Every structure is written in structure tokens, then in C-alpha cells.
Amino acid sequence: MSQINILNNIISSEMEGAYDEQLYFRTEGNAYFSKEQKSFILEKRAAIRFDTYFNSFSIGKWYVNTGIDNLWFSITHKGHFLLKFYHYSSEKSVSVIAVHELRNGDSYQDETFQIDTNQQIKDGLIFFELIALENSSVKNMFYGTRTEPVRNVDLGIVITTYKREDAVSKTVDRLKHYLHDNKMQCSVSVIDNGKSLNFESQYNITVIQNENLGGSGGFARGLYHYKEQSNNVTHCLFMDDDASCELESIWRTYKVLEYSKEDQVAVIGSMMLLSKPGVQHEKGAKFDRYCRPVGLNVDLTKVENILDNEVEKSIDYGGWWFFAFPIKDVTYPYPFFVRGDDVDFCFRNGFQWITLNGIGSWQEDFFYKEAPLQVYLDNRSHLLHHIHFDRLSSSNFTILLIVLRFVMLFAFRYQYKSAWASLKAFNDVMKGPKFFEENLLMQNIFEEVRPWSQKEKMQPISVSTACKGYENYDIVIEKSLHKMKLSDLYYVFKNPDKNRLFYDAGISKISKFIFLNGHLLPSFLFKAPAIIEKTNAKVGMIFRRPKICMYHSATNEGVILTHSKKEFWKLMFQFSVLTMKFVFKRKRLIEEYRNAYPYMTSKEFWHKEFFRKDKV
């Protein structure tokens, strides 16, 4: 009989920091995972259930998308306990598949079971439960198959970094040990855009120094390395430099690629939030005028959500925090620097998507990192997607609506520098593709936009500083999402027992828009300033506030933003000027970009940039 090929290992968190245990297992009684013994420990009458994001088995996805036709489970154990297998169907009914009573002495014993996956058990999830009849310990559990892989996979992991030496060193150390201990054809390229790493290439890990061409240029350099300078690599995995993922996600991705029926399959890792480790921000996204996450704000600690999360939805692209794809015939990223390169790359290369529970990584909240530079990069990439691709509208109305949406959103929130960054992006796009080629390093753009970013940068702030000069502040939040540390805010109120939630609920969104969120109202109609939780901020919360403190309670950071009619109308005037300019040159501009596009996503373009110094 052929050997069992491991598909999913059963894991506990190996990540640093506070990660939600219920992503891995659920316990009753005295049961826990011992990192010292690398085992799950159960005292008598305790139980552990593995109907979780990382440890349930996605039987439906595996049967539909891969060539496996049998499923096995292996366990190393001692003690006396019940092992129960369950099927959680797509109709959300739970049934018992099998029950095994396992008993042995004080030494560990290996056992393997075939899981009966008949026609009724080829959708939804499979999971298992351990119920201790006596004190017990288990380890080395995995789901596997005796089916041989469909293809050989040689995976090249690309990590792009810029002056984050500590994070990269930890990542390299984790990957080095992991690749050594696991049988994968896999190598790692660390693209050092800052030329600041002080360790050498080692054990299948190559460090490549690169000009600071951003994430686009960094990942393009890694792709170039594997496509043009390596003979064997079949697939790439783009991932972040801090590798904030369970390394088991890499193994599972590798196995999906090995067993996939289709050659052009790309694996999209879910993005979870570091501030809310059990919450999924997205598992792929749609794009048309703006980005729309798929699977937004899903609580992955709840088993019914895990099942729903397996249902495939329409996806346009996957983020490069964790994105694996075949490299044969792919073209290179467009030189966006950062932001939008993943959308463009996926639009162009025609992948077929697989998302899978248990494959993903944790990231900071994008909204928290928002600043004028990020807004500039976002807006120009949004515009270029519509200019480059026939599948998206490039009409005057669509392009101007994209720009106006950016400008109004930030102006309504008193982030006027971000609004100016949106207009600068619009103006720079109108300079044509030559502007991108001449500004790959972004130096001139950084010099202009960086001072704007400093003015709107989140930084450590005391509430007393935010409230200086005002006797009263309103705290503006939503009840269901309230995480503000109110104890730190009480003293800023004249009557702390009368702290209140205030959202101008009686005023419609249409009215707020008509009054341009207060920019058409006289100052005497304004109320008290407000402290607003940044991650839950809505434009309407700011209506009729002379000043706000945008506050991030998770980090105790904030920024003071002040209402300015003068700044708002200067923005509107500049938008009008740029509108006329764009309408006049739109057709010629689209033609220029589309003519330049094949070259700017080619091997020749990036080769010239990577080895520019060799030609001097």
C-alpha cells in the first residue's frame, strides 16, 4: 500500500502574541496544548474539539478542486479516550462518521484510520473530537491521502522588505528551521530593497539586494529570479516580511498546488487583523472603481462562519500578503511601487482561485495605516486599472467619480492633506506612462507628500492634549463596536456621569451630503468637538464638529483634525481645474498608457531597472 501524503497537520498556535485559541481548538474541562511536550493534554472527562478555522478539514474544497479520492487520519497517542469524527454538511447539519476507542499504556502509539467519505460526505467540513476516559495525551495528528500528487511543485517564496531587519531576521530563522524539518521542494528569496540586511544567503534562502522599487519592484525582482535565473521553480508564493502566518499555511498551499486539477490555480490566503486575531478582513476581493473585500468581518471563531467561509464567491484578485501562483507564462507586475500591483497582476494573468480555511496571515488594519502617501498611491492605481483594462469603464464619468469620491471622503473627515494627495495622484496620472518610468524610486513624490503625511500621522497622544481649549467633548462611537478606554477620558468632561453617544441620528445622510458635511453651514451651528474611534469612524460622525480627535484605542494614538472651509473650497476649485484638463486629454492619455503597458510589464523593462548600474 502506498504511503500517506500529509495534507493538513493539526496545529496549535506557534505565533508570538495574543492569538485566539478558538481558531485552533475548543476545550471542555482540563484540556490544553503543552508547547514543552508538543502535545495536547487531556485529564479524565476533559474534551477537545477541532471544528475550527485551522484544524477542520475542508472536504468539499479538496474533492472539488483536487484529485484525491481517499482520506486518512493519523494520530500518536497514550492514555484512554474516544476519537469521534464528524461531518458538518453545507446544509449545516452535523453527523457522526465514526467513533474509535483508543487505549494504551504510558508509551505513545501510532494509529491510522481511513475516513469513509461516501457520496454524502463530499461537501462542507470534517472535524474530530477527543473525549478522555482517563488521563491522555495526543500529538502528531494529520489528515492525509494515499492518492499520488497530480504534479511536481517547486515553490519559490518571495519576501520583499525595506529596512525591517529584526522582522526579516525572525522570518528567515522560522523559515530556515521549517523548511529543514519538512519535505518540500521550496526555496526563499528575500528582496532587500533597503540594502540593509547583514546576513548572508543560507540553506535555500537567498538574499538579493535591490533598489527601493517598492513592493511592486521587490516582488518583480523575486519573480525574475525564479523565472529567469532558476531552472526548476514552478510556483511562487508572495508573502510579507514578518511572515505573520502559521507556517502550516505554506505546507497546505504547497499541497493544494500539488493536487490541484487545474494548472492555473492560484491560492489566496485570508487576511486576519492583528487587532482582532479571530476576525477575517478579507479572503480575496472585488475591484470596480474601488476595492471591496470578500468575506469582510467574519468571526472565524464560530463554526457556522467557518462553514460559510468555504463557499466560493466571485473574486477578482488576492492580496500579496499571502498569494501563491504558477509562474509559467505570467507577465510581470506594473511599476506601481505599492498599492494596486496585486489587482493589476491578477486581472492580467487569468488565474483560477482557491481559498481555503487554514491558509492566511495577520495584518495591521489598513485603515489605521491610512495617510496621504497611501491615499496618493491608492488613487493613482485605481485610476490606472480603469485606464488599462477594457473590463472596467474608462469614461469621463467613471474616472471623475473615482477622484471625487477620494477627495470628498477625506475632505469630509477634515483630512485635507489626504484629499490633496488624491488630487496630486490624478494630476500625476495625466502626465502619462513616462512619468511612472521616470519616478520608479518615488523620491520626488516622497519629498512632496511626506510633509502632508506628517500632519495627519497617528502618533501617541493624551486626551488632555486633544481637548485643550475646550470644556466639553463628545465621544462618538457605535455601541456594538465600542472599545474606547472610557476611564482615560472621563476627566475631560464637565459632568463625567453624563458621557453620551452622539451620532446625529436624526439627520439623514442626504442632508449631511447636501451641506457637504458641514462645509456649507455657518460656524454658530456647530457643536462640541469629538473624540472618534478611528477604526469605526463614519463621515456622519464628524458632521458639525469644529475639531475632532481621530483616536485609535488599541495603540493610544491619535491625530487632531480641524474643520476648514477655506481648505475645502480650494480643493473643489483644483478638482474643477483638473477635471477640465482630463476631459480634454482622456482619449490620448488612454492610448498612451495602453501602448506602453506591455513593455512596462515585461521582463525587458524590469531587467533594465534591476541591472541599471551594470550599464553605467
Share above pLDDT 90 across residues of the chain, in percent, rounded to a whole number: 67
- The H or E element containing residue 580 is helix 565-600
Mean pLDDT, rounded, for 144-173: 92
Q: Is the pLDDT of residue 473 over 70?
A: no
For residue 384, give the amino acid letter: L
> What nine digits make up the cell of 482?
465600542
* Residues β-bridged to residue 100: 83
Q: Determine the Cα–Cα distance for residues 101 and 76; give it in Å rounded to an integer.
A: 14
Mean pLDDT, rounded, for 344-353: 94
Q: 10 Å Cβ neighbour count for 374?
A: 17
> What nine digits make up the cell of 540?
456622519
Q: Determine the Cα–Cα distance for residues 428 and 582; give it in Å rounded to an integer.
A: 11
pLDDT of 31 = 96
Q: Determine the Cα–Cα distance for residues 591 and 585; give it in Å rounded to an integer.
A: 10
Torsion of CA 62, 67, 70, 74, to 10 degrees: -60
Distances in Å between the Cα of 573 and the Cα atoms of 146, 289, 304, 576 are 68, 23, 51, 5
Q: 10 Å Cβ neighbour count for 190?
A: 25
pLDDT of 471 = 47
> What nine digits make up the cell of 515?
451641506
Query: Which pLDDT band holds residue 167 (cuts at 50, 70, 90)?
Result: confident
pLDDT of 531 = 79
pLDDT in tens, 80-110: 999 999 999 988 899 999 999 999 888 999 9
* Alpha helices (runs of H) in 56-164, residue ranges in sequence order: 59-65
Can you tell me whether residue 567 is helix, strand or coil? helix
Q: Is the pLDDT of residue 236 over 50?
A: yes
Phi and psi, residue 123, nearest 5°: -145, 170
pLDDT in tens, 379-429: 999 999 999 999 999 999 999 999 999 999 999 999 999 999 999 999 999
**312 or 149: which carries more pLDDT confidence?**
149
pLDDT of 260 = 96
Q: 10 Å Cβ neighbour count for 342?
A: 27
Mean pLDDT, rounded, for 454-481: 60
CB 282 within 8 A of CB 319: yes
Give the chain's mean pLDDT: 88
CB 498 within 8 A of CB 474: no
pLDDT of 495 = 30
> What nine digits make up the cell of 303?
463554526
pLDDT in tens, 259-275: 999 999 999 999 998 88
Q: Is the pLDDT of residue 492 over 80?
A: no
pLDDT of 7 = 97
pLDDT of 549 = 83
pLDDT of 361 = 92
Mean pLDDT, rounded, for 160-171: 88
**44 or 537: which carries more pLDDT confidence?**
44
pLDDT of 231 = 77
Nearest to 492 by CA among 551, 542, 540: 551
Q: Determine the Cα–Cα distance for residues 59 and 89; give it in Å rounded to an integer.
A: 10
DSSP string, 327-394: -TTPPPPP--SSSSHHHHHHHHH--EEEEEEEEEEEE--HHHH--HHHHHHHHHHHHHHHHH-TTS--
Q: Is the pLDDT of residue 38 over 80?
A: yes
Share above pLDDT 70 across residues of the chain, in percent, rounded to a whole number: 90
**116 or 129: which carries more pLDDT confidence?**
129
Q: Determine the Cα–Cα distance for residues 493 and 463; give it in Å rounded to an integer.
A: 11
Q: Is the pLDDT of residue 500 over 50?
A: no
Q: Which residues contact 115 (CB under 8 A, 6 or more apart)?
A: 71, 72, 73, 85, 97, 98, 126, 143
pLDDT of 20 = 87
CB 97 within 8 A of CB 121: yes
* Residues β-bridged to residue 102: 81
Query: Which pLDDT band holds residue 558 (cuts at 50, 70, 90)?
Result: confident
pLDDT in tens, 182-220: 878 999 999 999 999 887 777 789 999 999 999 999 999
Q: What is the pTM of this model?
A: 0.90
Torsion of CA 244, 268, 71, 42, to 10 degrees: 30
pLDDT of 391 = 94
DSSP state of 57: B
Q: Determine the Cα–Cα distance for residues 434 and 596; give it in Å rounded to an integer.
A: 9
User: 70-74, 168-172, 438-442, 594-598: which has the minimum mean pLDDT?
Assistant: 168-172
Q: Is the pLDDT of residue 496 over 70?
A: no
pLDDT in tens, 354-367: 999 999 999 877 77
pLDDT of 91 = 87
Mean pLDDT, rounded, for 328-333: 94
pLDDT of 464 = 59
